[in-house]
Amino acid sequence: MSSIFTRPSTASVLYDAPGPKARSRYRVFGVLALLAIAGLLWYTVTALADNGQFDAELWDAFQYNTIQQRIVDGLLATLEAFGLAAVGSLALGALLAAGQLSDHRPVRWAAVSFVQFFRAMPLLILIVALYYAFFAKEPMWALVLGLTLYNGSVQAEIIRSGVNAVPRGQGEAGYALGLRKTQVMTTVLVPQAVRSMLPTMIGQLVVTLKDTSLGFIITYHELLFVGKAIASQPLNAAGFPYIPVVLVIGPIYIAMCLLLTALARWIEARGRRGANRRTSAAA
C-alpha cells in the first residue's frame, strides 16, 4: 500500500531524495508534528468548550428563521457590493490602463498619478472619507466607489504590465499592416494581455471580495455587519455569541474566496491548453 509517507520524493534545494534512514526519521517527525497539531487543536477545542462556547444556548440564535434570513440578506448585500465593484474596477482599470499607455503626455501623467495616489491610500480611509463627504445616507455607494477607485488602479497596473509583456513584434506587425494605434491595441495587444493576465485579475477580484467586509465599519449591512449585529444581542445569560458568529461567517468568506481562486486556476489551465493546441495546429 502506498501512503503519502512512503511516496518516493526527489531532491529539492532543501533536501536530498531521502534514503531509508531519512525516511524513517521523517516518519518520526511526521508523527511528532501530527501529535503537536492534534494537541494544539485539542487545546483550542477544550478552551472553547470550557468557556461554554459550544453550549446549545449560544448557538440557539441560528435556529431562528429571521436570523438565517438576515445572514442570507447580508450575504446578498456583500455579493451586490462585490459585483458592482468588480464591474466598476474592471472598467476603470481598462480606462486608466489606456490612459497610462497613451501617446499624449498630459493624459499619461494624469492617469499615472491617479493610479499611484489611489494605490497608496488605505482603502478604509478612502471609503470613510467618501462616506462622510458624499454618501452618509447611502453607505453602499461609498463602499462600491472606494473599492472601484482602489481596485481599478490596481487592475490598471495589471493590464498595463500585461500589454507591456506582449512581445514587441506583435504590435510592430500590426503597425506594419497599416493598423492605427487603437486597432493595434484593441485587436492585437489587449486580447493577448487580458488572456495572460486573467488569473492575476481574478486574484485581485478575490481581494475586492475580501475588502467588501470594510463596509461593516461604515454601517453597510453586509455579512460581517449582520454578524456583529447578531453577536451583540445577549442571549439569556449565555453571553454574547461572538465566537459562534465568527465560526459561521468566517467559513462563508473563505468558501467564496476559494471559489473565485478555483475559477482563476481553471481559466489558467484552460488558457494554457488552448495556447498549446493553437501552437501545435500552427506548427
Spatial distance between the Cα atoms of 255 and 215, rounded to a whole number of angstroms: 19
Q: Please say which residue, 94 or 257, places its beta carbon nearer to other proteins.
A: 257
| Residue 41 binds other proteins, judged by CB under 8 A | no
| Residue 204 binds other proteins, judged by CB under 8 A | no
> Does residue 156 contact residue 92 with C-beta atoms inside 8 Å?
yes
| Residue 261 binds other proteins, judged by CB under 8 A | yes
Contacts with other proteins in 103-162 (CB under 8 A)? 117, 120-125, 128-129, 132-133
The residue type at 197: M
User: How many whole angstroms from its chain centre is CA 6?
Assistant: 36
Q: Considering only residues 1, 14, 237, 283, which one is a binding residue for other proteins as defined by CB under 8 A? A: 14
| Residue 228 binds other proteins, judged by CB under 8 A | yes
Retrieve residue 76's grid coordinates. Answer: 446578498
> Does residue 241 contact residue 58 with C-beta atoms inside 8 Å?
yes
Q: Please say which residue, 55 or 73, places its beta carbon nearer to other proteins.
A: 55
In degrees, rounded to 5, the angle at the alpha carbon of residue 266 between the alpha carbons of residues 261 and 272 is 130
The residue type at 58: L
Tell me how far, at minimum, the Cβ of 10 lies from other proteins, in Å: 10
| Residue 165 binds other proteins, judged by CB under 8 A | no
Closest CA to 146 of 100, 197, 92: 92
Closest CA to 63 of 267, 232, 230: 230
Residues contacting residue 181 through CB under 8 Å, at least 6 positions apart: 103
| Residue 11 binds other proteins, judged by CB under 8 A | yes
Tell me how far, at minimum, the Cβ of 4 lies from other proteins, in Å: 5
Q: Considering only residues 1, 2, 13, 182, which one is a binding residue for other proteins as defined by CB under 8 A? A: 13
Whats the size of the chain, residue-wise?
A: 283
Q: Please say which residue, 95 or 217, places its beta carbon nearer to other proteins.
A: 217
Q: Which spans of this chain sit near other proteins (rule: CB under 8 A)?
A: 4-5, 9, 11-16, 18, 22, 26, 29-30, 33-34, 37, 47-48, 51, 53, 117, 120-125, 128-129, 132-133, 206, 210-214, 216-217, 224, 227-228, 231, 239-240, 242-243, 246, 249-250, 253-254, 257-258, 261
